[in-house]
A and B are shown apart, each in its own frame.
Chain A
Amino acid sequence: MSVVAENLRWGVKRKTIVSDVSLTVAPGETLGLIGPNGSGKSSLLRLLAGLRKPLSGRVEINGRDIAQIPRKVLSRQVAFVQQSAATDTNVTVRDVVRLGRTPHRSALAGWSEPDETAVAHALDRVDMTSRRAQPWQTLSGGERQRVHIARALAQTPQVMFLDEPTNHLDIHHQIEILRMVRDLDLTSVIALHDLNLAAMFCDRILVLEAGVLRACGTPDAVLTQAILRDVFRVTAHVSGSPDAGRPHIRFSSE
């Protein structure tokens, strides 16, 4: 499914947080979203996922304006992994992943075979099968993050929005999760802070600065020294890698 946004604008009071962003994500494509803290990545993702109403502009998923699609129907196709989500409730890993089936179940429907398959599969994808009975409260930060990703997978979405999904993850799981998202047959938009990971796993990268789209294109077109200097205020050395079109960035301490 494709994701198209036209002239999205959102803000609070007199402050504009996302200004006039347009983008297109082709079916199956992985788009990276990068930008400094507070540049509006999370806000843009919420707009794309339909969790916030834009002040103007519109989002289309698979050619349909999401403002016209009922929440529940939308959630069968679109999953959203928050930057951080916590709870005081005493739930197990399995309970949390089962929540991902919510949009697929009617109010009183029993637990079906497809539900079970989706949950088992999702737990397996994030290496959490053996811990499915563990209380959520006792998980480490990275394990929690993986459970949230499993829950999104259990939604069996065709479009996935992930807000810094590699936060708290060790390097193995960072690469594992991003590889999985890339290889899954779904359209995804991922906010990331690690520029090298973005270069490795994203088909295209979008750079936000103070809510404004600064650049959008293939990793080697976007991750240039000039943009790194202007947007991220760092001096960096960008070198080509054996992977064509996937630059490698080395930061310099001067």
Chain B
Amino acid sequence: MASVASEGRTVRLALFLCLSLIVLAFAVAAATAIGDYNIGLGTVFLSVTNELGLTGAEIAPIEQSVVWNLRLSRALVAALAGAGLAICGAILQALLRNTLAEPFVLGVSAGASTGAVCVIVLGIGAGSLSLSLGAFAGAFAAFALVALLSNGATSGPNHTILAGVAASQLFNALTSYIVTTSGNAQQARDVMFWLLGSFGGVRWPDFQLLLVVVIVSLSVCIWMARSLDAFTFGDEDAAALGVPVARIRLVLFGVTALLTATVVSMVGAIGFVGLVVPHAARYVVGPLHLRLLPACAMVGAVFMVVADIASRVIAAQQTVPIGVVTALVGVPFFAIILYQARPQS
């Protein structure tokens, strides 16, 4: 009887994953079709199959190029970024035993923005590659500081969260200091735009790198999913269930930092996806991580692609920063979580 229940859950998860895969395919297709000028879905499909060498249909080269070189890569990077941030959120919520944890609690986004600002304002290096590199270096500097402050992440969850808060404050202060003392108005605007996130500049090489990082991270996390479940009642309880607590914490903190830093360095610090999506996924597939992590990846991917479409159609002739769109959706959801998590009197 009980195993029937568990089979029922597995079937539900499989159905859910299939369904979300279909939705994701449609969302990506829509994201590729919609833009400054719209391209028909048929043309989108044929352009892709042309590029893959499956068909040889006659399509205006400009349309084919827009679909393949600009929009499809952008949509797929958005999907991967959403998936990555959602996975990080789920992992950190479990490890820190905190429903409000999200990918940036370990100071990674603050560090990334400091790194990016160093490049934009101080002009250390130039070009978009060094912007990404700067952000990545900053992100890891912040994570290293957090790891140091929290004893290699071996002290308790609250200690780690506090270390993250300290690192975030420090790096945000550094960012503001650099912008106010050295930047001009245009640079300040660039920085601001970068911080709010944008899929504008991404191309296929970004997709390839992100694909590898997301697949590796997701595999490691799924490999450790059972151990994550064991953290339900705290670190000591996990240890009593045979989980090598210190090692798991360090590996998973490292993986989430790497994944977050990669995403942030490509597309900026996009908030709320990592906070909101794991909660939404938990409603559907329950709290066990072997189900939760794949579900988070799918929901995160769909959410981000849809948000990217919204960011391009909300205001005519303009792209609203993606972080603004995710927050507009995310904040009401956050309010619901807060409301439900309020102390019962």
Q: Which residues of B contact A46 (CB under 8 A)?
A: 236
Among A19-27, A80-88, A170-178, A234-242, the stretch that binds chain B is A80-88
B237 touches A82 (CB 8 A): yes
Q: Which residue of B lies closest to A94 (CB)?
A: B2
Q: Which residues of B contact A74 (CB under 8 A)?
A: 242
- Confirm or deny: B234 has a beta carbon within 8 angstroms of a beta carbon on chain A: yes
Q: Which residue of B lies closest to A91 (CB)?
A: B287
Q: B231: shortest Cβ distance to chain A, in Å?
A: 9
Interface size on B, residues (CB 8 A): 31
B233 touches A87 (CB 8 A): yes
**A74–B242 Cα gap in the complex (Å)?**
7
Within 149-178 of B, Cβ neighbours of A (below 8 Å) are at none
- Confirm or deny: B230 has a beta carbon within 8 angstroms of a beta carbon on chain A: yes
**A96–B236 Cα gap in the complex (Å)?**
15
B287 touches A95 (CB 8 A): yes
**B282, B287, B290 interface centre (most CB from chain A within 10 Å):** B287
**B229, B233, B237, B286 interface centre (most CB from chain A within 10 Å):** B233
Q: Which residues of B contact A94 (CB under 8 A)?
A: 2, 5
Within 204-263 of B, Cβ neighbours of A (below 8 Å) are at 222-227, 229-230, 232-234, 236-237, 239-244
- Confirm or deny: B124 has a beta carbon within 8 angstroms of a beta carbon on chain A: no
A102 touches B226 (CB 8 A): yes
B287 touches A51 (CB 8 A): no
Contacts across chains A and B counted by CB atoms under 8 Å: 79
Among A54-62, A105-113, A204-212, the stretch that binds chain B is A105-113
Within 76-125 of B, Cβ neighbours of A (below 8 Å) are at 97, 99
Contact count band on A: 35 or more
Among B6, B230, B236, contact of A51 (Cβ-Cβ < 8 Å)? B236
Q: Which residues of A contact B181 (CB under 8 A)?
A: none
**A125–B241 Cα gap in the complex (Å)?**
20
- Confirm or deny: B18 has a beta carbon within 8 angstroms of a beta carbon on chain A: no
- Confirm or deny: B288 has a beta carbon within 8 angstroms of a beta carbon on chain A: yes
B241 touches A99 (CB 8 A): yes
B2 touches A116 (CB 8 A): yes
B2 touches A102 (CB 8 A): no
- Confirm or deny: B3 has a beta carbon within 8 angstroms of a beta carbon on chain A: yes
